[in-house]
């Protein structure tokens, strides 16, 4: 049996503990572990998000939703939520970790509000801050910070999304007027899917091929005014993207440019500049390295989406698990009562592994946020640190966004018809987060980036990681590639592991889980490197074709790497949890995460001889017979540690209303039975008649 004790907290969120046997889980203590370093920033956002003015209203028209979200951004400025990352001299705090932590929580109120604020300050404003120098900061940032100048981040084009280096828009320097002339020379070069472009944007950071004296210096960014009030400026046109699958509070649109002139000083010139004599210069000699450095400064979008997806998963699981702990269905076979959904093994299988995954995502995100803050604060800002940050973000963002979509959908289905009602939030949350798998880097493209870095030390060896160069390097460095994950050495080997371990006891511990997860990454990378080893001697076209033949497995290897990083982050956090019972329950939860990953890939482990058939079956039995029953009593407490107040959840089925309904029904039947007024069941009467006939 489980006893759950509720008590109020300063935030208004439920603080609970769960007791099962001799174990006592303290949700309040666990919450502090989850809030981590930037707890104050998260709690500040949480407090604001209890207010109705920051909540999404279901059923608004597109125009009404856009207007409401625009007003919410004004309120965020007034409440001082959005300036934490900006320079102190301009009224900011230069606290990059706190800025992202605070921003991620906005998904609780309305994902459209979160993403539109991300466009304004995390993309448009951040591009000016990170790609511009002091002249741009002083000229442009104050009005961006205050929202006096709403802006767009004009990177993506209709014809080129993730392949930014190949965009078609040009910015050609005109020495006669000391201006850049911006053009979109064909339809596929139109800037597309841009937040703030359809209605609110007054300016944009436009990414274009920078052409000076007939030389293309690659992609650079320029600050470009686009509207004067409601009307486009001369040479600028655009369209509204219209109704989308989600995030309809954001005015996404398209922009195109014909002979649009801006002053030379509107070039955001931190990494590339043109002087008054029309001479181009850059502190980074290599065009490829220059491009990746510029794009790398904008990694915070991926970091924040990783965190926001984690918050959304926590939200969905809190609703679904609270409901499952109260909703009863089907007779229990022992009395007149019905069974709580969460007591069914299948229901536990649906929700508890996803709860384990969400905890892993939370702990992995903390590591990503620490790395991000270290780089952007200057505390740890070497080339290696930046490359590690980019690789980590490119690994975790696909894992968390895909996991969030899976979790929200499963939580929706686990709540049956109630889950499909808009009032319980799952359907809108799923629709709004759908695009998270695509923007700020399509997940498959990001994983390909990770995979390339599994095979190469790209910063030293490759200026542009084309297929032929990667193949050649993989052939030269196959041995080294086996020990490189992009972030950590994968040096552990498994010697005859499949034949020596015959029971679950041999893989139950942390070391064995690490071996199995690590070995999968190593083996996949080794196999791909072996197939590519002769590609360096092939013509470029054939080398590219060979690389393409292995592309799917490269991405699979990268995802296996992401799974390993998530598991390691969970394991590392366990070591610093002081509350003994919390640590024990979280160890079970970590084991559930690890074994679920292994079970998911059992075919691979069996084919490659890492597990015997009997031990593979034992892993599934261990999940079902040991881990799920151990974790079931603590499921609600583990979600209460997420610290969502009722105003955050805004889902009737998570408020206790289902328990009231269940208790009412049970009381009704109990009263009937006690009063002797309950009708006799036909099958009971038939049994009585049959018995009487025999007697």
Give the per-residue pLDDT at 456. 64
pLDDT above 70 for 360: yes
How high does pLDDT run on average in the chain? Answer: 89
Cβ(257)–Cβ(235) below 8 Å: yes
pLDDT digits (tens, 9 = 90+) for 209-235: 999 999 999 999 999 999 999 999 999
443 C-beta neighbours (distance < 10 Å), count: 21
d(CA 527, CA 504): 28
678 C-beta neighbours (distance < 10 Å), count: 13
The pair of structure tokens assigned to 392 is: 């980590």
Report residue 269 CA to chain centroid gap: 31
* Across 536-561, average pLDDT: 88
551: DSSP letter:
H
Q: How confident is the model at residue 13 (pLDDT cuts 50, 70, 90)?
A: low
Q: Can you name the residues that pair with 4 across neighbouring β-strands?
A: 18
3-class secondary-structure state, position 106? helix
Give the per-residue pLDDT at 672. 87
Lowest-pLDDT choice from 52-66, 130-144, 651-665: 651-665
433 C-beta neighbours (distance < 10 Å), count: 24
d(CA 673, CA 677): 6
Phi then psi for residue 398, to 5 deg, are -60, -40
Burial class (CB in 10 A: 0-12, 13-18, 19+), 63: exposed
**DSSP of 413-482, one letter per residue?**
HHTHHHHHSGGGSHHHHHHHHGGGGTTTS-HHHHHHHHHHHHH--HHHH-SS--HHHHHHHHHHTHHHHT
Phi then psi for residue 655, to 5 deg, are -100, -5
d(CA 15, CA 20): 17
pLDDT digits (tens, 9 = 90+) for 149-176: 999 999 999 998 888 999 999 999 999 9
3-class secondary-structure state, position 115? helix
pLDDT digits (tens, 9 = 90+) for 313-340: 999 999 999 999 999 888 877 666 889 9
Same fold, 153-287 and 300-640: no
Question: Would you tell me which CATH number, out of the four given (3.30.70.100, 1.20.140.10, 1.10.3210.10, 3.30.70.60), belongs to the domain 300-640?
Answer: 1.20.140.10
186: DSSP letter:
S
Report residue 84 CA to chain centroid gap: 21
Lowest-pLDDT choice from 8-12, 79-83, 350-354, 384-388: 8-12
pLDDT above 80 for 92: yes
What stretch of H or E contains 533? none
Phi then psi for residue 212, to 5 deg, are -130, 120
d(CA 125, CA 86): 9
pLDDT above 70 for 408: yes
pLDDT digits (tens, 9 = 90+) for 241-277: 999 999 999 999 999 999 999 999 999 999 999 999 9
Higher pLDDT, 669 or 407: 407
Q: Can you name the residues that pair with 23 across neighbouring β-strands?
A: 20
Which residues, including other chains, have CB under 8 Å from residue 638's CB and lie 6 or more apart? 25, 27, 30, 355, 359, 585, 589, 631
Cα dihedral across residues 7, 13, 14, 17: positive or negative: negative
Give the per-residue pLDDT at 675. 92
The pair of structure tokens assigned to 41 is: 């920033």
d(CA 633, CA 689): 44
3-class secondary-structure state, position 174? strand
Give the per-residue pLDDT at 497. 43
* Across 376-394, average pLDDT: 91
Cβ(207)–Cβ(128) below 8 Å: no
Cβ(174)–Cβ(188) below 8 Å: no
Q: Can you name the residues that pair with 24 across neighbouring β-strands?
A: 19
Give the per-residue pLDDT at 2. 44
Helices (H) and strands (E) in the chain, counts: 29, 18
Higher pLDDT, 2 or 235: 235
* Across 393-408, average pLDDT: 97
Give the per-residue pLDDT at 476. 43
Q: How confident is the model at residue 538 (pLDDT cuts 50, 70, 90)?
A: confident
pLDDT digits (tens, 9 = 90+) for 633-669: 999 999 999 999 999 999 999 998 888 888 888 889 8
pLDDT above 50 for 76: yes
| Full-model pTM | 0.90
Per-residue CA distances from 477 to 383, 414, 521, 533 (Å): 21, 48, 17, 9
CATH of domain 153-287: 2.40.110.10
d(CA 522, CA 561): 9
d(CA 626, CA 240): 54
Give the per-residue pLDDT at 504. 57
Domain boundaries, given as residue ranges, for the chain: 153-287, 300-640, 657-694
pLDDT digits (tens, 9 = 90+) for 613-622: 988 999 999 9
* Across 59-81, average pLDDT: 96
Q: What Rg value do the Cα atoms of the chain yield, rounded? A: 28
d(CA 143, CA 120): 11
d(CA 636, CA 19): 11
d(CA 100, CA 93): 13
């Amino acid at each position: 049996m489980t006893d759950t004790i509720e008590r109020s907290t300063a935030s208004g969120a439920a603080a609970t503990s769960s007791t099962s046997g001799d174990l006592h889980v303290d949700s309040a203590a666990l919450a502090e572990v989850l809030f981590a370093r930037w707890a104050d920033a998260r709690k500040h956002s949480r407090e604001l998000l209890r207010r109705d003015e920051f909540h999404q209203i279901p059923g608004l028209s597109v125009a009404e939703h856009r207007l409401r979200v625009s007003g919410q951004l004004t309120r965020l400025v007034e409440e001082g939520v959005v300036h934490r990352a900006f320079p102190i001299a301009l009224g900011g705090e230069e606290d990059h970790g706190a800025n992202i932590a605070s921003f991620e929580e906005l998904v609780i109120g309305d994902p459209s509000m979160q993403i539109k604020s991300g466009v304004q300050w995390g993309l448009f404003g951040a591009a000016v801050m990170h790609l511009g120098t002091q002249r741009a900061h002083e000229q442009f940032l104050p009005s961006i910070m205050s929202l006096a100048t709403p802006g767009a981040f004009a990177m993506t084009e209709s014809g080129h999304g993730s392949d930014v280096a190949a965009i078609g828009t040009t910015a050609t320097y005109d020495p006669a007027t000391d201006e850049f002339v911006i053009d979109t020379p064909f339809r596929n070069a139109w800037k597309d899917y841009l937040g703030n472009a359809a209605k609110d944007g007054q300016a944009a950071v436009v990414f274009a091929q920078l052409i000076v004296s007939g030389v293309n210096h690659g992609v650079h960014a320029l600050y470009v005014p686009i509207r004067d009030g409601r009307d486009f400026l001369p040479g600028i046109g655009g369209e509204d993207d219209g109704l989308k699958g989600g995030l309809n509070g954001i005015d996404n649109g398209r922009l195109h440019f014909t002979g649009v002139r801006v002053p030379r000083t509107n070039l955001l010139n931190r990494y590339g500049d043109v002087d008054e004599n029309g001479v181009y210069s850059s502190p980074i000699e290599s065009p490829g390295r220059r491009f990746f450095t510029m794009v790398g400064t904008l990694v915070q979008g991926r970091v924040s989406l990783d965190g926001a997806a984690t918050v959304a998963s926590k939200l969905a699981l809190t609703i679904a698990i609270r409901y499952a702990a109260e909703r009863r269905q089907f007779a229990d076979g022992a009395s007149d009562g019905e069974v709580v959904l969460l007591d069914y093994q299948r229901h536990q299988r649906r929700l508890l592994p996803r709860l384990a995954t969400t905890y892993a995502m939370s702990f992995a995100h903390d590591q990503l946020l620490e790395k991000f803050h270290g780089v952007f604060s200057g505390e740890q800002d070497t080339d290696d640190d930046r490359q590690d940050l980019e690789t980590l973000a490119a690994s975790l963002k696909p894992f968390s966004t895909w996991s969030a979509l899976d979790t929200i959908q499963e939580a929706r289905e686990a709540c049956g018809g109630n889950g499909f009602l808009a009032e319980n939030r799952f359907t809108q949350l799923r629709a709004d987060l759908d695009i998270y798998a695509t923007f700020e880097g399509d997940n498959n493209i990001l994983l390909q980036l990770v995979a390339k870095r599994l095979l190469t030390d790209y910063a030293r060896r490759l200026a542009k990681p084309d297929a032929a160069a990667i193949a050649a390097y993989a052939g030269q460095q196959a041995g080294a590639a086996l020990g490189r994950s992009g972030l950590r050495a994968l040096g552990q080997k498994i010697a005859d592991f499949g034949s020596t371990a015959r029971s679950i006891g041999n893989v139950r511990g942390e070391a064995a889980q690490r071996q199995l997860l690590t070995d999968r990454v190593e083996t996949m990378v080794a196999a791909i490197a072996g197939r590519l080893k002769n590609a360096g001697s092939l013509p470029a076209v054939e080398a590219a074709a060979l690389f393409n033949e292995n592309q799917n497995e490269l991405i699979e290897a990268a995802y296996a790497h992401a799974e390993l990083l998530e598991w390691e982050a969970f394991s590392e956090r366990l070591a610093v949890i002081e509350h003994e019972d919390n640590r024990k329950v979280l160890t079970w939860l970590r084991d559930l995460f690890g074994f679920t990953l292994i079970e998911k890939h059992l075919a691979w482990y069996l084919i490659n001889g890492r597990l015997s058939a009997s031990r593979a079956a034992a892993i599934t039995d261990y999940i079902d017979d040991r881990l799920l029953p151990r974790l079931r009593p603590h499921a609600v407490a583990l979600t209460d540690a997420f610290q969502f107040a009722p105003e955050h959840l805004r889902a009737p089925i998570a408020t206790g209303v289902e328990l009231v309904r269940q208790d009412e029904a049970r009381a009704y039947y109990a009263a009937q039975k006690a009063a002797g007024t309950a009708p006799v069941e036909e099958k009971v009467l038939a049994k009585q008649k049959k018995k009487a006939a025999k007697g």
